[in-house]
Chain A
Amino acid sequence: MYTRTNLTFVMMAPDALSLEVAGLCKSYNGKTAVEDISFSVKPGELFGLLGPNGAGKTTILHMLAGVLEPDSGKIRLLGKPFTFRSVAERASIGFVPQDLALYSELTVRENLRFFGGLYGVPDHTLKLRIDEVLELCDLIDCADQLAQVLSGGKKRKLNLALGLIHQPSILILDEPTVGIDVESRVRVLENIRSQAKQGVSVLYATHYLEEIRALCGRVAVLNRGHLVRCFEASNFRFENIYEDLLSHPARQ
């Protein structure tokens, strides 16, 4: 099995995991945000994190992206330990935050060039890669427009494109389709699916059940900071999830 890390392919054992999370905990000012979260993601797998608002999805993703320091627990990335202080390892992660995170004063192309450079994409391949991502995310027609004049849907696509520019091995997506029309949503989901087909491990957080059902192979259900269920999407009755979301995790 091969997986990509920043434009290079590294060989992994066939049963190797892209991401392993064990006993992850985080609290803010004494209030528990997430507790004892454990799961793993295989190369090329689409793994869904499903839960209502406040379930702890974003907190988990921020810890996995290295933005937030866990109180306890361990993360292994491509078989190696990953901590809040790891720097070089972050190059293999593509992080797409829930809120739009782009420079509105820069053009679409300049945004991509900046983040590509920041992730160490060499100059001689960056231009080509920018064109690829523009094509992939349907942004070619607005490549030289300032991000601030883009429509909401285009901004979402750019938000996703910025996470893809350096060809990450692991893509962490935090509700990437919030606030965009149906057509754009379909395109975004297609892009994510194509990334997984190319061997990218995708961690997809959302509270939209239908997206999880359409996209993910395995799903973890979160409620009030606890992982209440983890299952294969293909042989599960999604209607049962409502019980998980309505029940208190402490009773399970």
Chain B
Amino acid sequence: MKLPRLEFRGLYIAGVYGRLRALRTKSPALHHWWWQRITAVVLVPLCLWFAASLITMVGAGHAAAAAWVGSLGVALLLVVFILALCYHAYLGVEVIMDDYVHIERVKAKGVLAVQVVLGLLAVVGVLAVSWVLVGLA
């Protein structure tokens, strides 16, 4: 079927080929469009996995949680989860700010603030997982 013209942050991206080509361009807006989707696809199974795992730990104490976070496979998936989640959240909030904040200076500061906060969250999350993984918890 014919693909609709797709607008993303003021740029038109036509067809599947155009979208794939966009991935290789240096345009930050198109990179954002793609990374939003790539992280979304990654987050679908990871969110379901994380939610299901949390449910099994309801009512259980610290030992169960530490054992779960501290196993190598889980820790690696958690790191991917945290990074994808924070980046996806940052890109999403940025698009929303683009649409609703019309004063450039305010927008730039807002985007920077979100970048810093979500960046810090990602770093703290990865450090916490590493801490448990090496057995310091």
Q: Do A and B bind each other?
A: no
Using a CB–CB distance below 8 Å, which chain B residues touch chain A? none
